[in-house]
Amino acid sequence: PAPPPAVLRVPALQPTDWPAPPGGGRAEPPPSASDAREMALLAYFGALPRGVRGLPPSSRGYASAPWQAAISRLLREPPLAARLSELEVRLLHQPPLPEGELLRSLNAAVVGLAARGGEGEADECLGLGIVRAVDPASESLLLVTPVPPAALARAAVLLRGSLELPVALLQPTPLTPASPYLGANALRGAGAGNKQMRSRNNIKRASTPRG
């Protein structure tokens, strides 16, 4: 079997010495682990406002001028076109999909861009990208990525894992309407039954006395 692809290390935020707000006052608590990961991903794509210490508590916060400017800056990036026939698509942490659904599964997805490794070597992950749109008729996709063109020319493998698109990039902007992937007053997690069940092996089962 082929060796697993190399893992791309996205620079993480370091909230250990979280700065105090200007002018003194009580320092804000650092973001949660999930928020820190989302902020690191936004920073990687250049869509994190300067000086932001956390994600907005609700979707209304993304309508502020700093967030709109940062998100619009990413939206103005010209995408790159690629044909699916020129790339090998690998689905990670999920079963294979029918050929007709593979392209649709990449729409609005965060993907890894990898170069093939030599014989006996792991593939090299060059960076991450966002699939802006897909065209099933021509079997092509539009991709936005900060990977330099020289490195991008080596990309031959598209890695589709479980990394989710940040919610900030699904919000309405002056350039785009609200994403169709967002729903108002929608249930998440267990309430909607849309997530896999987690095994709770740490819970002891009550023993049944034997008669």
> CATH number, domain at 125?
2.40.30.330
Judged against a pLDDT cut of 70, whether residue 11 lies above it is answered with no
Q: Which domain range does residue 115 map to?
A: 80-160
> Does a structural domain hold residue 168?
no
Is 132 found in the same domain as 66? no
> Does a structural domain hold residue 8?
no
Is 124 found in the same domain as 91? yes
Q: Which amino acid is present at 178?
A: A
Is 96 found in the same domain as 56? no
> Does a structural domain hold residue 174?
no
Contact 87, 157 (CB under 8 A): yes
Is 152 found in the same domain as 91? yes
Q: What is the pLDDT of residue 160?
A: 92
Percent of the chain with pLDDT over 70: 72
Last residue of a domain, one of 76, 104, 129: 76
Assign 28 a pLDDT band (cuts: 50, 70, 90): low
Q: What is the pLDDT of residue 7?
A: 54
Is 105 found in the same domain as 89? yes
Last residue of a domain, one of 144, 160, 176: 160
Is the model more confident about 85 or about 27? 85
Q: What is the pLDDT of residue 123?
A: 86
pLDDT tens by residue, 34-92: 899 999 999 999 999 998 889 998 888 999 999 999 999 999 999 999 998 899 999 98
Assign 94 a pLDDT band (cuts: 50, 70, 90): confident
> Does a structural domain hold residue 88?
yes
Give the residue-averaged pLDDT of 166-187.
77
Give the residues across from 115 on adjacent strands: 124
Is 66 found in the same domain as 42? yes
Average pLDDT along the chain: 80
Assign 103 a pLDDT band (cuts: 50, 70, 90): confident
Assign 101 a pLDDT band (cuts: 50, 70, 90): confident
Last residue of a domain, one of 160, 179, 196: 160
- Prediction pTM value: 0.74
> Does a structural domain hold residue 134?
yes
> Does a structural domain hold residue 105?
yes
> Considering its fold, how many domains does the chain have in total?
2
